[in-house]
Chain A
């Protein structure tokens, strides 16, 4: 069955540190890839998505993610985090259809 693995459940960083959150998926076919974010007290919102083309995609708030097909990975990065990036981040995959599978999430805490 298709699955999504997020390597870190909790990450603590200081402001201005660089961020990389790992995501690997198990499906070998053509996929759409997503990162969603949930800020404290808010609902899930789309951060960025990859459908095709340039494997480096840029999203809101300075986030980017790189699709590496050979590694089945879609890691999320940000060069310099801010306190306001404190949130839970979910990687998600769908098989070019409707059923999207989510990872378990990574809680990021940024110290001011």
Chain B
């Protein structure tokens, strides 16, 4: 597609539920990133894929967070047993090469009640 798409755009989960957030990067983009943006903050790095390889997951806040990109295109960020502090906008971005400017998707706003 023309840009990075994310779904769902909004998600309300009850505390303890599992959620899955999807990202469709720009076709052919090697690099894919997930960021978490809390209200009033800049995006915080979560994890990075180069093709299907997850090269860095140092930003994932706990082992409840898991990301995958099995075929090197679509990626899913899964959060298990959601907590209120997980409420944020989750941004996906892709770029043709690491280090280059990123194209961001619209984000998924997750609210945990």
B96: Cβ under 8 A from any A Cβ: no
Shortest A109–chain B CB gap in Å is: 15
Shortest A95–chain B CB gap in Å is: 9
Q: Between A and B, how many residue pairs show CB distances below 8 Å?
A: 54
B50: Cβ under 8 A from any A Cβ: yes
- A100 interface neighbour in B45, B50, B105, B107, Cβ under 8 Å: B45
- A99 interface neighbour in B40, B45, B50, B105, Cβ under 8 Å: B45
Chain B residues packing against A (C-beta within 8 Å): 31, 33, 35, 40-45, 48, 50, 55-56, 91, 93, 98-107
- Listed from nearest, the 8 A-B pairs whose CB atoms lie closest are A102-B42, A98-B98, A44-B104, A46-B101, A43-B106, A102-B43, A104-B42, A49-B101
**Pairs A–B under 8 Å by Cβ, sample size 19:** A4-B42, A36-B104, A43-B104, A43-B107, A44-B104, A45-B104, A46-B101, A46-B102, A49-B100, A49-B101, A98-B31, A98-B55, A98-B56, A98-B98, A101-B45, A102-B42, A102-B44, A104-B40, A105-B40
